[in-house]
Amino acid sequence: MIIYKTKDEIELLRESSLLVGKTLAEVAKLIKPGITTSELDKIAEEYILDNNAKPGFKGLYGCPSTLLCSVNEAVVHGLPTDRPLQNGDIVSIDCGVLKNGFYGDSAYTFKIGEVSEEVQKLLDITKSCLDKAIEQARVGNTIGDIGFACQLEAERNKMSVVRDLVGHGLGRKLHEKPEVPNFGKKGKGPTIKSGLVIAIEPMINLGKKEVEQLDDGWTIVTKDRKPSAHFEHDVAITDAGADVLSTFKYIEEVLEQK
């Protein structure tokens, strides 16, 4: 069952979603060659707790960390480690918070130092896939319209969309109905109504779409071990259109100053 949100609930979801963006900005201040994702995880947890919220992932489904940090060929769900990040790496950092009874959930793929031209294109196209998907998140459209727009943008740029993992509804639970695939057909799936809040999160591979899980039981990697990128926003659909509750503004302000 899809749970539609009131205006007041959407504002609480916005507060949680913005806190995720601010947490990822704290990560952005420190991310550089030589730092470990375990160090970043600790910083994020302290920041969330200092802002009267709880880490949204830690303890959920047995997750041991505040952040999920997926490096290079890791698509999502990478656990923080003591491996220092290296020049040329990319790392998708996914973060959730729980505040005032509602979740925020957002992800950003960071580049460490200088990356190759093809990896830079992967980051640009993945972010573009997110933008194209959000454009279709409006009353009267369908969930399939969102996935179709994302898939079209990826495939016309010779990249592939992960099929095994999808976006989701967001509210008092981190994962609510409906599922929001990053692929699909126009006009298919649930019709979008005002009050729907969803996390749209393209996971785009430089190589083929197939993925597999590592022995840690968490990390999802590309089967061909080519890089993957992941960007995620929380979006409320209102009669006026898509209202993006999360933000990359704080992150990108930090990155521009580095």
Q: In the structure, what pLDDT confidence band is assigned to residue 133 with cuts at 50, 70 and 90?
A: very high
Residue 30, classed as helix, strand or coil, is helix
Q: What percent of the chain has pLDDT over 70?
A: 100
The domain locations on the chain are 7-257
Mean pLDDT of 131-138: 98
Give the pLDDT of residue 38: 98
CA distance 89 to 66: 21
Give one DSSP letter per residue of 236-254, joined into a string: EEETTEEEE-S-SHHHHHH
pLDDT digits (tens, 9 = 90+) for 50-74: 999 999 999 999 999 999 999 999 9
Q: pLDDT tens digits for 192-246?
A: 999 999 999 999 999 999 999 999 999 999 999 999 999 999 999 999 999 999 9
Give the count of beta carbons closer than 10 Å to the beta carbon of residue 187. Answer: 11
The per-residue pLDDT for 249 is 98
Q: What H or E segment, with its residue span, contains residue 105?
A: strand 102-111
Selecting from 1.10.8.10, 3.40.50.880, 3.90.230.10, 3.40.50.2000, what CATH number does the domain 7-257 have? 3.90.230.10
Of 112, 80, 71, give the one whose Cα is nearest residue 229. Answer: 71
pLDDT band for 258, please (50, 70, 90 cuts). Answer: confident
Instruction: Answer whether residue 31 shows pLDDT above 90.
Output: yes
